[in-house]
Amino acid sequence: MKPSQPYPSLRIGALVGALVTTALIAVFFLAAQVAGTPFVPFDVFDWMARVLPGAVITFGIDIIVGLIRTFQLGETSGTAKLAEQIMAVVGLGLTGIVASAVLFEVLRRKVVNVPPTFAGLIAGIVVGMPVTIISITGNRSAEASVFVSGVWIMLAFVAWGLALGWIFQRLTGQLQPATATDTLAAVQPIDRRSFLVQLGGATAAITVVGAGVGSLLTRRTSSAAPVLMAESTPMPTEERIAWSANNSLPNAADTLVPAPGTRSEFTALDLHYRIDINLQPPVVRENEWTLNFSGLIDEPQQMTLAQIRAYEPIHQFVTLACISNSIGGDLIGTQRWTGVSLKTLLADVPYQPNTTYLKISSADSFDEYVSLDLIMQDERVMLAYEWDGLPLTEEHGFPLRIYIPDHYGMKQPKWITDIEFVAAWSEGYWVRRGWDRDALMRATSVIDTVAVDDLVRVNASQFVPIGGIAHAGDRGISKVEVRVDDGEWTEAQLRQPISSTTWVIWRYDWPFEAGDHTFAVRCVEGNGIPQIEEVAGVRPSGATGIDSVRESI
Ligand SMILES: Nc1nc2c(c(=O)[nH]1)N[C@H]1C(S)=C(S)[C@@H](COP(=O)(O)O)O[C@H]1N2
Ligand SMILES: [Mo]
């Protein structure tokens, strides 16, 4: 029995791989929603993002962010996360396709002479083993235990491999010795085609059910976490309401009305950008969490969240920006942070005098170094547990994150678990990947709106309200200027900022003039230093250059 086409080709191997792996991913998704097991593609993606060189990651992020901004696909950080999640799923799919094609080719060429199902089993183990290890060691968001997760992922991959082997066997007709002796060339293509159609139907059904049912069910953690928190930290109910719901901002009396279309001066929790190295935020349970002090300390020590909350709280209005925020970008937001000054807290931790830095580590294996001198000089450096008067959300670092004024977000770990007292500085997570070791915030100013539909009429003249934000860390903003086409730089009006560390809102009413115009903005820091106008990209030290927009009026 050696007909011309007895064995399925590489292409059929790839096709089968696509079908079966898609079903596998759907099953992983369903299990993640129903049983809280890890969603494997995300874990593999996160792992790759950690091991690949920083330049590769930055290049990839630049492309994603560039596409989002060019085609105005929406808010940058959320859209980028979605794009990465899609890449993660597609990536595992491609891996499955390649593995299946290789398996079929190995079997077709009889590189090894074993039954196809056995070869499939081996393939399942070969692919499943590293994936399982990556997932159970890296995952910080699944509810299922590491043991259950590991067994589940391994079994799923074994089933995937067995399915591939069985399908190969079925496609070669080995299960039908009667037809095998017939004129295979005539009988098999039809049989093969109809089998593939059936296979396509079966895998499509699994995929639709898995993805459909999975997306109807919300992940259990999102509803369970607040309940857990409520049980372990009894708090008066009024504290559960967002601070901003019942309070006005400290600068509320300022009479300057932002130009229509200017972003909100205070960024609502669900509108604040989110940037971190996780496709799903690590889930920390308050009753299993402590802040652990180690290193140059006589006795390692722990603090619970309740102990940290017991310190006199401080509240600070903070504008946080990501060093990856390009000129005019939306990776910047302003919130009210509540926590304890790190200086106050450290007074109760007997670290040794040769300490010079604190190594802060997080549940997602992120880390950064903070100078002890800075902590002692600047009482604003704080460990924060609330944004807008509510416990930090999972996305924004529950239960604890640090605030370090004047520095980009990359220096400020979320989901803090450990503080290690060390004698020497070392490179933190993003610094090791080629970003600025100090990461001081650059001065930046942005045009949010040229409000052509909201002309202001004063006597016989019409004005176009133009407005936006300007920010320079904790250095403040002393001046914002706007230029239209090749005209003069003209000073804009400034609102009082919410605090000395937040952005300011500016406004300029420009005498209306029909036509195509280019509007540009620049600012001067509180200390008199002008914003850097020379154009530089975000890497390694944060973007510089001035924001401009074109409008036909
Ligand atoms: N543990 C941890 N902390 C982290 C990060 C991270 O990936 N992991 N990303 C940092 C970066 S790059 C930024 S810009 C800020 C963003 O904080 P946000 O997502 O709450 O806006 O978190 C910082 N803290
Ligand atoms: Mo960032």
> What does the pLDDT look like over 382-411, one tens digit per residue?
999 999 999 999 999 999 999 999 999 999
Using CA atoms, how far residue 122 sits from 185, 273, 308, 516, 553, in Å, is 30, 44, 51, 66, 67
Q: Residue 265: is its pLDDT beyond 50? A: yes
Q: What superfamily does domain 243-422 belong to in CATH?
A: Oxidoreductase, molybdopterin-binding domain (3.90.420.10)
Q: Residue 234: is its pLDDT beyond 80? A: no
Contact 405, 314 (CB under 8 A): no
Domain with CATH 2.60.40.650 in the chain: 444-552
Domain with CATH 3.90.420.10 in the chain: 243-422
Q: Which atom of ligand 1 is nearest to the CA of 276?
A: 7
Within 6 A (CB) of ligand 1 lie 272-277, 320, 322, 362, 364, 366, 396-397, 409-410, 412-415
Give the residue-averaged pLDDT of 229-254: 74
Q: Residue 136: is its pLDDT beyond 70? A: yes
- The CATH number assigned to the domain with range 444-552 reads 2.60.40.650
Instruction: Give the model's pLDDT for residue 188.
Output: 56
**What's the angle, vertex CA 412, arms to CA 361 and CA 415, rounded to 5?**
50
- Please state at what angle helix 146-172 crosses helix 184-216, rounded to 10 degrees: 160
Calculate how far, in angstroms, residue 339's C-alpha sits from the geometric centre of ligand 1: 17
225 confidence band (pLDDT: 50, 70, 90): very low
Whole-number Å distance between alpha carbons of 299 and 286 = 23
Contact 445, 507 (CB under 8 A): no
List the alpha helices (DSSP H) in 273-378.
305-309, 342-346, 372-377
Q: Which atom of ligand 1 is nearest to the CA of 272?
A: 21
Residues near 413 by Cβ (< 8 Å), separated by ≥ 6? 360, 361, 362, 366, 367, 368, 397, 401, 402
Residue in 275, 401, 408, 436 to alter for ligand 1 test, most ligand atoms within 8 A of Cβ: 275
Q: pLDDT tens for residues 487-507?
A: 999 999 999 999 999 999 999
Taking CA atoms only, the protein residue closest to ligand 1 atom 10 is: 410
Q: Residue 14: is its pLDDT beyond 70? A: yes
Q: pLDDT tens for residues 39-65?
A: 999 999 999 999 999 888 888 888 898
pTM of the model: 0.91
Contact 520, 546 (CB under 8 A): yes
Give the number of the ligand closest to the Cα of residue 366.
Answer: 1
Q: Name which of 198, 169, 218, 450 is nearest 328 in CA terms.
A: 450
Contact 26, 68 (CB under 8 A): no
Calculate how far, in angstroms, residue 321's C-alpha sits from the geometric centre of ligand 2: 7
Contact 163, 120 (CB under 8 A): yes
Instruction: Give the model's pLDDT for residue 16.
Output: 97
Q: pLDDT tens for residues 138-168?
A: 999 999 999 999 999 999 999 999 999 999 9
Residue in 46, 267, 274, 276 to alter for ligand 1 test, most ligand atoms within 8 A of Cβ: 276
Max CA distance (Å), the chain:
98
Cβ atoms < 10 Å from Cβ of 67: 13
Instruction: Give the model's pLDDT for residue 38.
Output: 97
**What's 532's DSSP letter?**
P
Q: Name which of 484, 485, 475, 483 is nearest 524 in CA terms.
A: 475
Query: Which of 192-196, 429-433, 545-549 is predicted least confidently?
Result: 192-196
Q: Residue 102: is its pLDDT beyond 50? A: yes
Q: Which atom of ligand 1 is nearest to the CA of 364?
A: 1
Whole-number average pLDDT of the chain: 92
Instruction: Give the model's pLDDT for residue 148.
Output: 97
| Bridge pairing between strands 461-471 and 504-511 | antiparallel
Query: Which of 4-13, 123-132, 162-171 is predicted least confidently?
Result: 4-13
Calculate how far, in angstroms, residue 112's C-alpha sits from the geometric centre of ligand 2: 49
